[in-house]
Structure formats: C-alpha cells, structure tokens
C-alpha cells in the first residue's frame, strides 16, 4: 500500500523499516513515561501538607496581583503579577469537610508560604461579615470556581493578594463589571511559621530531586535501547542535542 511504499523508500528495505518501527515504538513507550514522572511524583506521600489527614482537592498555579500594605494604609499602586500555586486541602469528605486549608506558594520565592484555615465555626463569621449566601460545604467549590475564573477570564476576574508586614494577608476575589469593581469574596491568610516553611522547602527539594533521578534513569534506558537497535540514530540525536557520545 501507499504507506508501506513510503516506508520502503525512506528506510531502504522493508526489513530496515520494520527494525526502525520497532525501535521507534520502544522509544515512544519509554518516552511516554516521562510525563508520568511529573504526574505521579516521587515522594508525594511525604508531603507535610498531608501529615494531619488532609487530602488535596485542588492544585494549580493562578495569576495573582501581589501587593504589600503598611499598617492601615491602602496600597496606592497596582502590585506585581505573579503565578502563585494554590493548593486546597480538605479534612474528611470534600463535599462535607470538617476543615478546609488553602496553601499559597511561589516558584520565584521558596520562602513565600501563606495558609488560610477554616472550619464550620470560623466560616460562620466569614458568612456574617461578608453577607455570603453559601454554606460551609459549598465553600471549597466556590473558591475553586473563583480561582479557575481568574485563570480563564483574566479581564473579568482578578485575585489580589495583600500582604502586611506582620504576616497577615488577605486574598480578594474581584470582578471587573466594566463600570465598577465588585469584591466577591475575601479570605484571610497568615504567613507560615519558619518550621513549616523549612519542611515545605525540604519536601519540594527532595521531590524534585527524586523526579530528576527517575528521569535520568529513563533517559539512560532510551539511550541504551537506541544504541543497541540503531547506533547511527543515537549519534544523530547526540549531535542535535550537543551531548558527547559514549563510545567504548
């Protein structure tokens, strides 16, 4: 057929084409597992965030406008835009949680770590202060909805994170109505303790190190496979990536 003719023309012979296809399938099988390394993680079970029984229900980077506030003064200038990782954790059933925690971290600043912690009793205070029309079981899903809107509808929804010098902070979800800005929800945060920050940095370092080691192992498997099946292809790959060949 036409595809077979194309393979014979490019490979020189049907046998060579078959060998190349076999190598390609084997390489693709190994290379496909690279994505799994970052999906599955290496030491995720050791995440200090999960130590007290919470489980992750949301984990994404969200564009935040970061502002610094001195005392009671209102920030007069727009803040800086930065991608902040938002991790939402629930204790118990996520549809009827006993407790909810939101952790904010940054890839640009390893020491940036803030936590919002709320249970049904503290949520009732938020509900009264902000005239919220939702109940505690719906709280996490509403926050997730707000975060996703800040990702997908950046011109209409903004997440503003205001930090104070004493470690207090506030996350405001604001909707741009064209003619005015409307505050939809405000969440109080606290800067995490030095011990928490230290444990989180150690976890992130070890997690990344584990993933890099796993990836290097997979890469070596691919190199060995290609070297055995098609040495000239390995040389071509090494030249294109600038890696020295390991001739023995």
Q: Which pLDDT belongs to residue 241?
A: 66
pLDDT of residue 73: 64
**DSSP-assigned states of every residue in 93-113:** -TTS-SEEEEEEE-SS-TT-E
How far apart (Å, rounded) are the C-alpha atoms in residues 48 and 30? 31
What is residue 143's three-state secondary structure? helix
- pLDDT recorded at residue 13: 44
Q: How far apart are CA 75 and CA 83, in angstroms?
A: 20
Note the pLDDT of residue 246. Answer: 54
Polymer length in residues for the chain = 248
Q: Which 8-state DSSP code applies to residue 173?
A: E
Cα separation, 195 vs 190, in Å, equals: 14
What CA–CA distance (Å, rounded) separates 127 from 144? 17
Nearest to 187 by CA among 95, 93, 84, 82: 84
Q: Structure pTM?
A: 0.69
Beta bridge partners of 102: 88, 116
Task: Assign residue 65 a region (left: φ > 0; alpha: ψ between -120 and 50; beta: otherwise).
Answer: beta
Q: Per-residue confidence of the chain (248 residues) as pLDDT tens digits?
A: 544 444 334 444 444 555 556 656 555 555 555 555 455 444 556 777 787 888 999 999 999 999 998 766 665 567 889 999 999 999 998 888 999 999 999 988 889 999 999 999 999 999 999 999 999 999 999 999 999 999 999 999 999 999 998 999 999 999 998 889 999 999 999 999 888 888 878 877 777 777 787 788 877 877 787 777 777 776 777 777 665 555 44
Q: What integer pLDDT is reported at residue 74 of this predicted model?
A: 62
């Amino acid at each position: 057929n036409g595809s077979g003719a194309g393979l014979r023309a490019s490979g020189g012979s049907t046998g060579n084409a078959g060998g190349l296809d076999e190598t390609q399938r084997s390489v693709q099988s190994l290379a496909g597992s690279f994505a799994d390394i970052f999906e599955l993680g290496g030491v995720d079970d050791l995440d200090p965030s999960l130590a007290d029984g919470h489980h992750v229900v949301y984990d994404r980077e969200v564009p935040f406008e970061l502002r610094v506030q001195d005392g009671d003064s209102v920030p007069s200038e727009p803040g800086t835009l930065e991608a902040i990782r938002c991790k939402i954790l629930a204790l118990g059933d996520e549809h009827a949680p006993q407790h909810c925690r939101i952790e904010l971290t940054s890839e640009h600043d390893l020491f940036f770590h803030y936590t919002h912690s709320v249970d049904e009793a503290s949520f009732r205070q938020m509900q009264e202060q902000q005239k919220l029309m939702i109940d505690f079981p719906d709280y996490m899903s509403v926050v997730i909805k707000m975060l996703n809107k800040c990702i997908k509808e950046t011109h209409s929804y903004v997440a503003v994170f205001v930090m104070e010098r004493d470690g207090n902070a506030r996350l405001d979800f604001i909707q741009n109505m064209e003619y005015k800005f409307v505050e939809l929800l405000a969440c109080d945060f606290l800067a995490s303790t030095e011990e928490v920050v230290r444990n989180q940095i150690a976890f992130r370092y070890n997690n990344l190190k584990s993933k890099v080691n796993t990836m290097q192992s997979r890469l070596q498997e691919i190199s060995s496979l290609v070297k055995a099946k098609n040495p000239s292809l390995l040389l071509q790959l090494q030249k294109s990536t600038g890696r020295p060949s390991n001739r023995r």
